[in-house]
Amino acid sequence: MTRDADPAPKALPIKLDSTSNGEFAPVPLPAAARHARALALDAISGSARQLAMPRRRYLQSMLGAAATLSAFNQAFAAAGQRGGHYELAAEARFEHAAAKEAIGGADDEFIFDVQLHHVNPRGAWRAKASPNAFRGMPNSNCGKADHIECFSADALLKDVFHDSDTAMGVLSHVPGGADTNPLDFEAAGATRLAANALDGSERLLLHGRCMPTLPGELDGMDAQVEGARGRISAFKTYTQFGPRDGAEGFFLDDERFGAPFIERARKLGVHNIAVHKGLAFGQRGYQYSSSRDLGPAAKRHPDINFLVYHSGFDTSRNEGPYDQKADYGVDALIRSVREAGNPANVYAELGSTWRFLMRDPDQAAHLLGKLLLDFGEDRILWGTDSIWYGSPQDQIQAFRAFQISSEFQQRFGYPALTPAIKRKIFGLNATKVYGLDTIQLRRKLGKDRVQKSRLDYLNDPNPSFETYGPRTRREFFAFRAVSGDGP
């Protein structure tokens, strides 16, 4: 098969589908999103024919992404959604210059993805997992002799650093104990080393992991810092996580689990806490998905940065104007921070949240608008939850083009998504959180071996446009069964 042949005739360069990151049950596409997909498929085929270009080559160019976003606009407008849209010229699906202006990115853009994941095919977790773990996932048929290799570090490095404009990232963790987590700490450290250049620049930072409701986890934080020689950029935790025969979760402001966890991180010199909020695993421990503890914890620990992964977003609740009575969802995070006096050490992260809301521009406009009003443009972080969604390039291109409508700006007081705001969200905010010098980073990363290999790859790119995570409830429950003591 030649590179111009199209192995996936229904693939879109900007993906709208029901894929989950494995932390929430897949949500079927609404009618407007299904219509958007159908229009995009027709637009791509028609535009490629008009340009006498093979369909796959058209998909690989910015033209395919521009045609897709234009079709999304048409479908969402027909459905009466007026809160947001993808801003690009009508000719962008035919002219490279117009497409580049809308979704190509500025020269001074620096994309720093603070939420990346992969699986360790040779980890201890496999001893307890079914031989068919991950077998039902869409990407498990990638052609590897061991299907778990389809979700390996190599897949992450290709999808993120070759097939997207991501410059830097943070390798994070999924919930699970030390012997059941599909990405153990040692393997994560090896991936960081593989991505980092030989000349001393860094492409990947590393999270430590801690589930304080499990025995030995607090002491395990010391071992992680020692093993990483102090190169732990944050500790990641899941407040919903607990053993089935014990605590079902915890809050960051409680004395039994939350406070000791934060104090141990401080003692180890780690002043960033990344906490999963929202995206409920299910009803068990659901109350701990609420962000009601973030304000009190941040006020109590002003020297600790709290990075709220997913911004507390809950797929079961529609995003609208701020509701001051909300106990869950993004509004619960905003409420908690407001009631604590708006401490400046709380940051909202967009992994899975933005990807989910690409299907619904009204909700996307409300969520981004509310975060900008309450957190400001300096405390929103870019994350994509890749590789569960495949390459993050589609999320990047869609965010570059997205704009909150003038109607919503006037009705709700939301600010416009200016290029300057997007640059901050895409990466500049995260560099400040992690104490990095953007000027030095650009200088090093522009000439390291990862950049050189990417330039070689782009001479003959081969993106898959595939997603990795579960797209159906059956796949979701098969994924969740990997961790026997999970929630």
Helix (H) or strand (E) holding 237: strand 234-238
In tens digits, the chain (487 residues) has pLDDT values of 445 555 566 789 999 999 988 888 899 999 999 999 999 999 999 999 999 999 989 999 999 999 999 999 999 999 999 999 999 999 999 999 999 999 999 888 999 999 998 777 777 777 777 777 777 777 777 778 888 888 887 888 889 988 999 999 998 877 666 666 665 556 555 555 555 543 455 788 888 989 999 999 999 999 989 887 768 899 999 999 887 666 789 999 999 999 999 999 999 999 999 999 999 876 678 899 999 999 999 999 999 999 999 999 999 999 999 999 999 999 999 999 999 999 999 999 999 999 999 999 999 999 999 999 999 999 999 999 988 898 999 999 999 999 999 999 999 999 999 999 999 999 999 999 999 988 887 777 776 667 777 777 777 788 888 888 888 888 887 776 654 433 3
Separation of alpha carbons 40 and 312, rounded Å: 31
> What is residue 487's predicted lDDT score, i.e. its pLDDT?
35
Give residue-wise pLDDT tens across range 172-184. 877 666 666 665 5
CA angle 203, 209, 215 (to 5 degrees): 165
Separation of alpha carbons 460 and 457, rounded Å: 6
Nearest Cα to 365, choosing from 84, 161, 82, 47?
84
CB count in 10 Å sphere of residue 8 = 11
Separation of alpha carbons 214 and 210, rounded Å: 9
Residues found in the chain: 487
Separation of alpha carbons 292 and 249, rounded Å: 14
Domain boundaries defined on the chain:
112-445
pTM assigned to the model:
0.92
DSSP at 310: G
Give residue-wise pLDDT tens across range 217-252. 999 999 989 887 768 899 999 999 887 666 789 999
CATH code for 112-445?
3.20.20.140
Nearest Cα to 36, choosing from 74, 9, 84?
74
Give bridge partners of residue 386 from the DSSP assignment.
116
Nearest Cα to 479, choosing from 22, 9, 6, 110?
22
- Retrieve residue 314's tokens: 């809950």
DSSP letter for each residue of 20-60: --SSS---PPPHHHHHHHHHHHHHHHHHHHHTT--HHHHHH
Separation of alpha carbons 419 and 106, rounded Å: 8
CA angle 365, 370, 373 (to 5 degrees): 125
